[in-house]
Structure 1
Amino acid sequence: MLEVEELTVRFGGLTAVNGVSFSVDEGAIVGLIGPNGAGKTTCFSLITGFLPPSAGRVRFRGRPLTGLPPHVIAREGVVRTFQKTSLFARLTVHENVMIGQQARLRPRVWPALARTAAQQRELAAVRERADDVLALVAMSAVRDVEARALSYGEQRHLAIAIALASRPALLLLDEPAAGLTPAEARRLMDLIEQIRRGGITVLLVEHDMKVVMGICDRIVVLDHGQKIAEGAPREIRQHPDVIRVYLGEVTARP
């Protein structure tokens, strides 16, 4: 589904990502892990068009994404979240999710006030889609609550809902469990599994190893911008290079 080939980016004399290659199969949950500064979020930005690569290429369902702007890549079905939750604080949860659909709306419809019958029908579909997404992430009860009134965990779920609103085929989650309590992290794992069951493939960057090992089919490990390992969770847990640079002996125990 997603093919990343020899992806490289340089900032002056610094090579932040160096010849990284991996693939994501349709229907999989794949983790991208590594120490701070390993290049994980930079890889996300290269895949989704927020940064241009110095070398390498990205293909999605056989079509090249390299060089395309983020909004075009989103329309192709590749959508990401960010480490820092960015919400419209004074808008309701429902309104935030409606806005999340703008990548797939025709330019003349958003933010038009639905003056024509066609625009009214499309706006009704946008509202219905927002309700469906909120039901998926178990946030229907806070539909009309302003985003600023949500708990931190609810805000993280809302960020995922906004990404889901644009109907991605591949969802990239950047540290979705950051700052969550253990109970919230378990609910997040359930949500990601539910997203997969809904036909959406997931690629995630995450530091919470309970989350990564608990839901990922495969894991790619980066260190200093290079891939040092790739495999199933059990293989990664026991990989000597991964233990040395990242996991540590305690995590490596079966």
Structure 2
Amino acid sequence: MIGLLTQKVSAQSDAYFTKTTAIDGLSTEWSKDLLTFDRKTQFTTAVRNDTENLYILFQTSDRFTMNKLLQAGMEVTLKSKTKPKLNAKLSFPLAIETASDVVDGYKGSGSQDDDASFEKRFLERMTLQMMGKNEARLKGFSSGNGRFSLNKLPGVEVALAKDETKEILTLSYEMKIPLATLFGTNPEWDKVYKTALNIKINVNDIPRGQNTTEYAMLIRGAGRAGTAGTPKTFQSPNANQTVSNRGGSIFDDQYVKLKYRISRQ
């Protein structure tokens, strides 16, 4: 595992949303006071709830992570020792199904002209890949399980977007889950409020044996484009960071772990 971040995140009020929540993959309605940035993994995360829903935000400006996420997919796992116990997983975006999907039309020739146009080709490829990310897989949800198109996803809303409100290119992931979908319509709410919700956001590894020559070419611009650096306002006082490790292998999972307590509002 190449990335580990464990945080304890306190429940937040509606004041941490600057306007009505829209699940569009953008962070414009999230207050910066709620965002937590980790220097080593280059991940930004946020979690909150209202009386009906749980909201999760994940962002990265790291090209290495963007490519891996779009190729190998990502999973969000939610666990809690409530009654009944919660053990749910949402897989989105899903991994590509054929190796040719990764590089089709973007192999280039390695010439100086290719170097000059790399950013344009990177953005075009990223846009095409994101257009194909229209399915998700649910496991352990009371509203339904299996593979669904996003517009038919039962009880859950997710969105993936290029957040162009940032100074540099940022891939942003946002989700909304009804509390009833997680805990049922008649749970022991006192137990829910007292029990930590463990959230793991996992960027999957590239399977060993897969042809990664073209993949390596596609991330060669990461050094030129750089990463987000340290957003000055992206350190929530409610986040208790304990462990973090960046790593760098495409053959390892990359993840963050969060601990959250549902607020009574």
Using structure 2 for the length normalisation, give the TM-score: 0.24
Higher helix share: 1
Using structure 1 for the length normalisation, give the TM-score: 0.25
Which of structures 1 and 2 has the larger relative contact order (alpha carbons within 8 angstroms, sep 6+)? 2
